[in-house]
């Protein structure tokens, strides 16, 4: 069947997957979606940002939107309130006994910021922001964390290139090594 | 049967235990304190959908803090299963732990709900719930556990380390159900996975459209697209009408209200998996995608907050599980880990499911420290706290520092201390 041996490398697995994947077995179950249906649902942005839509924004533009739509929960300075987490600070705390995980101190990918604002923010109104607004808010949050400059234009090309401060704070570093727990030497729910 | 007693006698004993436990873990387990209560008007038709006895009060507890905690309509961040009252291995749907990160379950009309499978596939497909129910189904027993269960980190550190903590407080973010649905491998085969695909992205229909990356390897091994739980439709707080069930893996992977699966060639680094769920160690390095739960067990009776009425016979019982496979062995110690005896395992013993263990014990009335230790079929053994510290590269002092321990999949051996007066207390470290 499809169960893979623990020792088979990832590439061979992909080949196996391709081998069993070709023929459907059950007739007339499910239907083909239209291109429009897929486009409407396909909102996820990966770390290389290849799905990022057209549009752009700067921190300056983002500051205005933030004040209107985000500050009520995250606070006027983005330092958080009981209603929403802090979006900045924590620099230099990650290897201390009191780590403060924020976008600036911890998040490894700028694309995750864009994806999460786009799908989930503002709370209860996820999906309501335009692409330009999401770019602007992402730029604002990155600017407030000293990661980009106030005038830097964030768009589909520039955003994936933003180097997040904690990008190298993860084991393993390479994305292609993450999936294989055995290769990583993980045992009993813990990885070395 | 694993029992030296007749099934009937065991049943009667369990029934009396349940009656005692009905008033909550902090009461005597003897059942002597139970008082009858004033009758309440019953508005529901109990013949149409049954209810439990009004004398049974066992319930989930929202003990993870309020969200939002200061203003607006507050709601509990999560709810813990009352493991101290559990018998057997199945958690009723109504008592299954809930951790929705503060989100209310969406109110989904099953007639409107769709599951889209797309991305690196030859044939993108949309399924209705009815479509999925036409396909070959399987039912499997599996536990679900939150990656933070029994961890000593904030926000529930104070509760976790309190001497008065119950097993609901310390371990209540694990539950076990019979899940029914379609193997994800069946759906992926219908769609035709393309060469080069290595991961999939699963997405829910909740307020924040929670997203999780899962290796295709795991997805085709044993993952279910589930619509049934314990013989009925999945409850709304468990993902009605559809959820992903990723056996043995952290709760966060088991996407509720499942609406979309995209086949891709890399992990998508969504918010939860990259920013909230990696374990962070003292050197500042994080481990992400530590998905599988290790071997773990806990004694549910006698457990914290209960009180033994006096010396004499007491069954020691609890639950064991492993995300790596089947529970092979559970040992129990009554002397704080100096000596161990094999406990009896209740059949059926299912892969990646709670397994009930039992051991007969005659308590002599002296102080005792009760522990259990699980070994799975890969021969991996549940670690002591010291062994866990070694794996994580920290010293034992680390666990004494408030707010520091920020590591998931905490599966250290747990201790309950039985005092001379019969009271049972949590031993945090």
Residue B287 and residue A82: Cβ atoms within 8 Å? no
DSSP B397-419: GGGGSTTT---SS-----EEEEP
Helix (H) or strand (E) holding A164: none
- Which residues in chain B are contacts of A187 at CB distance < 8 A? 294, 380
Name the closest residue on chain B to residue A106, using Cα atoms. Answer: B275
Report the C-alpha gap between A75 and B12 in whole angstroms.
Answer: 58
Mean pLDDT of A70-89: 93
B377 touches chain A (CB under 8 A): no
Contact in structure between B90 and B187 (CB atoms under 8 Å): no
Our measurement of the distance from residue B65's CA atom to the centroid of its chain's CA atoms, rounded to an integer in Å, reads 18
pLDDT at A61: 98
CA atoms within 13 A on the CB side of B341: 12
pLDDT at B42: 54
Candidates A24, A84, A177, A189, partner chain B, best to mutate (most B CBs within 10 A): A189
Strands in B97-241 per DSSP E:
98-99, 114-119, 125-128, 138-145, 174-183, 199-204, 211-215, 224-229, 232-233
B257 CB-near residues (< 8 Å, 6+ apart): B105, B106, B108, B204, B205, B206, B239, B240, B242, B243
Candidates B67, B147, B268, B325, partner chain A, best to mutate (most A CBs within 10 A): B268
- The CA-atom distances, in angstroms, between B235 and each of A170, B56, B110, B264 are 36, 21, 12, 30
pLDDT at B157: 82
**Local confidence band at B73 (pLDDT 50, 70, 90 cut-offs):** low
B-proximal residues of A, 40-99, CB under 8 Å: 41-48, 73, 81-84, 94-95, 97-99
- What tokens were used for B361? 């014990």
A164 CB-near residues (< 8 Å, 6+ apart): A107, A108, A109, A110, A147
Report whether the peptide linkage leading into residue B341 is cis, meaning its omega lies within 30 degrees of zero.
no
Lowest mean pLDDT among A28-32, B67-71, B83-87, B303-307: B67-71
Angle subtended by helix axes A131-144 and A59-69, to nearest 10: 100
Residue B123 and residue A32: Cβ atoms within 8 Å? yes
- Which residues in chain A are contacts of B260 at CB distance < 8 A? 41
Residue A14 and residue B288: Cβ atoms within 8 Å? no
Residue A13 and residue B188: Cβ atoms within 8 Å? no
Name the closest residue on chain A to residue B202, using Cα atoms. Answer: A44
Helix (H) or strand (E) holding B188: helix B184-191
- The CA-atom distances, in angstroms, between B129 and each of A64, B228, B327 are 43, 11, 34
- Summarize pLDDT for B170-189 with one digit per residue, the tens: 999 999 999 999 999 999 99
pLDDT at A181: 86
Residue B271 and residue A42: Cβ atoms within 8 Å? no
Task: Report the percentage of chain A scoring pLDDT > 70.
Answer: 89
| Whether residue B392 has pLDDT greater than 90 | no
Residue in the block written with tokens 């549910």: B300
A-proximal residues of B, 312-331, CB under 8 Å: 323-324
B270 CB-near residues (< 8 Å, 6+ apart): A44, A112, A115, A116, B201, B210, B211, B212, B213
DSSP A3-27: PPPTTS-HHHHHHHHHHHSS---ST
Neighbours of B190 (CB within 10 A): 22
B358 touches chain A (CB under 8 A): no
**Local confidence band at A22 (pLDDT 50, 70, 90 cut-offs):** low
Mean pLDDT of A9-30: 61
Q: State how far residue A57 is from chain B, nearest Cα, in angstroms.
A: 21
| Whether residue B404 has pLDDT greater than 70 | no
Mean pLDDT (chain A, rounded): 89
Contact in structure between B178 and B140 (CB atoms under 8 Å): yes
Q: Which of B68, B70, B267 sits opposite A175 (nearest CB)?
A: B267
Mean pLDDT of B47-61: 94
Lowest mean pLDDT among A110-119, A160-169, B153-162: B153-162
pLDDT at A143: 98
Contact in structure between A66 and A78 (CB atoms under 8 Å): yes
Report whether the peptide linkage leading into residue A172 is cis, meaning its omega lies within 30 degrees of zero.
yes
**Local confidence band at B130 (pLDDT 50, 70, 90 cut-offs):** very high
pLDDT at B372: 98
Helix (H, G, I), strand (E, B) or coil at B125: strand
Assessment of whether the complete model's pTM goes beyond 0.80: yes
pLDDT at B102: 74
Angle, CA of A17, B223 and A187, to the nearest 5°: 90
Mean pLDDT of B307-326: 98
| Whether residue A6 has pLDDT greater than 80 | no
A-proximal residues of B, 126-155, CB under 8 Å: 126-128, 131, 134-135
| Whether residue A20 has pLDDT greater than 60 | no
Mean pLDDT of A111-131: 96
A-proximal residues of B, 72-111, CB under 8 Å: 72
Mean pLDDT (chain B, rounded): 88
The more confident residue out of B384 and A18 is B384
B73 CB-near residues (< 8 Å, 6+ apart): none
A6 touches chain B (CB under 8 A): no
Candidates A188, A191, A192, partner chain B, best to mutate (most B CBs within 10 A): A188
Q: Which of B197, B287, B411 sits opposite A17 (nearest CB)?
A: B197
| Whether residue B28 has pLDDT greater than 60 | no
pLDDT at B19: 37
Report the C-alpha gap between B136 and B95 in whole angstroms.
Answer: 29
Angle subtended by helix axes A131-144 and A110-120, to nearest 10: 130
**Local confidence band at B123 (pLDDT 50, 70, 90 cut-offs):** very high
Beta strands B211-215; B224-229: pairing state: unpaired
Report the C-alpha gap between A122 and B293 in whole angstroms.
Answer: 34
B233 touches chain A (CB under 8 A): no
CA atoms within 13 A on the CB side of B302: 33
Lowest mean pLDDT among A182-186, B29-33, B73-77: B29-33
- Which residues in chain A are contacts of B122 at CB distance < 8 A? 21-22
| Whether residue B423 has pLDDT greater than 60 | yes
Contact in structure between B171 and B82 (CB atoms under 8 Å): no
- The CA-atom distances, in angstroms, between B64 and each of A100, B115, B220, B353, B400 are 19, 31, 34, 24, 20
| Whether residue A157 has pLDDT greater than 50 | yes
- Summarize pLDDT for B269-287 with one digit per residue, the tens: 999 999 999 998 888 999 9
Contact in structure between B39 and B58 (CB atoms under 8 Å): no
The more confident residue out of B9 and A58 is A58
Short-list B152, B126, B100, CA closest to B279: B152
Burial of A172 (0-12, 13-18, 19+ CB in 10 A): middle
Helix (H, G, I), strand (E, B) or coil at B335: strand
- Summarize pLDDT for B332-389 with one digit per residue, the tens: 999 999 999 999 999 999 999 999 999 999 999 999 999 999 999 999 999 999 999 8
Angle, CA of A184, B401 and B418, to the nearest 5°: 95
Mean pLDDT of B232-258: 97
Torsion A172-A177-A179-A185 (CA) sign: negative
Report the C-alpha gap between B166 and B82 in whole angstroms.
Answer: 9
Report the C-alpha gap between B243 and B223 in whole angstroms.
Answer: 10
Q: If you count residue pairs, one on A and one on B, with CB atoms under 8 Å apart, how many are there?
A: 223
**Local confidence band at B403 (pLDDT 50, 70, 90 cut-offs):** low
Helices (H) and strands (E) in chain A, counts: 6, 3
Neighbours of B35 (CB within 10 A): 6
**Local confidence band at B30 (pLDDT 50, 70, 90 cut-offs):** very low
């Amino acid at each position: 069947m499809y169960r893979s041996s623990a020792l088979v490398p990832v590439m061979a697995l992909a080949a196996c997957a391709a081998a069993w994947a070709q023929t459907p077995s059950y007739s007339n179950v499910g239907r083909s979606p239209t291109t429009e249906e897929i486009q409407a649902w396909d909102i996820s942005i990966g770390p290389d940002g290849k799905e990022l839509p057209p549009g752009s924004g700067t921190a300056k533009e983002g500051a205005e939107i933030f004040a209107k739509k985000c500050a009520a929960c995250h606070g006027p300075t983005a330092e958080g309130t009981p209603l929403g987490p802090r979006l900045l600070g924590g620099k230099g705390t990650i290897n201390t006994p009191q780590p403060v995980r924020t976008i600036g101190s911890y998040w490894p990918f700028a694309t995750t910021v864009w994806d999460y604002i786009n799908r989930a923010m503002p709370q209860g109104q996820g999906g309501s922001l335009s692409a330009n607004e999401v770019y602007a808010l992402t730029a604002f949050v990155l600017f407030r964390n000293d990661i980009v400059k106030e005038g830097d234009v964030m768009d589909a090309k520039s955003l994936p290139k933003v180097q997040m401060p904690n990008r190298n704070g993860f084991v393993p570093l390479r994305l292609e090594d993450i999936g294989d727990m055995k290769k990583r030497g993980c045992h009993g729910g813990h990885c070395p | 049967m694993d029992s030296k007693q007749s099934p009937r006698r065991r049943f009667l004993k369990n029934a009396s235990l349940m009656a005692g436990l009905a008033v909550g873990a902090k009461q005597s387990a003897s059942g002597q304190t139970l008082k009858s209560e004033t009758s309440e008007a019953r508005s529901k038709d109990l013949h149409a959908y049954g209810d439990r006895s009004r004398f049974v009060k066992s319930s989930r507890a929202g003990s993870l803090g309020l969200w939002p905690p200061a203003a607006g309509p507050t709601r509990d961040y999560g709810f813990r299963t009352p493991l101290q009252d559990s018998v057997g291995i199945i958690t009723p749907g109504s008592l299954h732990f809930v951790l929705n990160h503060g989100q209310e379950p969406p109110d989904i009309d099953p007639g409107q709900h769709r599951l889209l499978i797309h991305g690196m596939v030859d044939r993108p497909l949309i399924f209705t719930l009815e479509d999925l129910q036409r396909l070959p189904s399987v039912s499997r027993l599996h536990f679900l556990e939150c990656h933070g269960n029994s961890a000593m980190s904030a926000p529930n550190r104070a509760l976790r380390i309190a001497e008065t903590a119950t097993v609901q407080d310390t371990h209540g973010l694990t539950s076990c159900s019979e899940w029914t649905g379609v193997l994800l491998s069946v759906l992926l085969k219908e769609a035709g996975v393309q060469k080069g695909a290595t991961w999939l992205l699963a997405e829910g229909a909740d307020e924040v459209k929670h997203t999780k990356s899962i290796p295709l390897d795991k997805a085709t091994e044993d993952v279910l697209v589930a619509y049934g739980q314990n013989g009925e439709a999945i409850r709304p707080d468990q993902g009605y009408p559809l959820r992903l069930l990723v056996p043995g893996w952290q709760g966060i992977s088991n996407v509720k209200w499942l609406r979309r699966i995209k086949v891709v060639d890399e992990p998508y680094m969504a918010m939860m998996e990259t920013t909230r769920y990696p374990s962070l160690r003292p050197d500042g390095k994080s481990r992400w995608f530590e998905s599988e739960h290790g071997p773990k067990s806990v004694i549910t009776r006698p457990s914290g907050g209960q009180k033994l009425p006096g010396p004499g016979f007491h069954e020691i019982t609890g639950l064991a599980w492993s995300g790596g496979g089947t529970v092979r062995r559970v040992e129990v110690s009554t002397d704080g880990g100096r000596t161990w005896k094999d406990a009896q395992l209740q059949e059926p013993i299912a892969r990646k499911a709670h397994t009930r263990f039992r051991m007969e014990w005659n308590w002599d009335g002296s102080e005792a420290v009760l522990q259990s230790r699980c070994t799975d079929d890969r021969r991996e053994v549940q670690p002591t706290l010291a062994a866990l510290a070694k794996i994580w590269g920290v010293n034992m002092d680390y666990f004494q520092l408030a707010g520091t321990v920020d590591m998931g999949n905490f599966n250290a051996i747990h201790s309950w201390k039985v005092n001379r007066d019969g009271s049972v207390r949590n031993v945090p470290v």
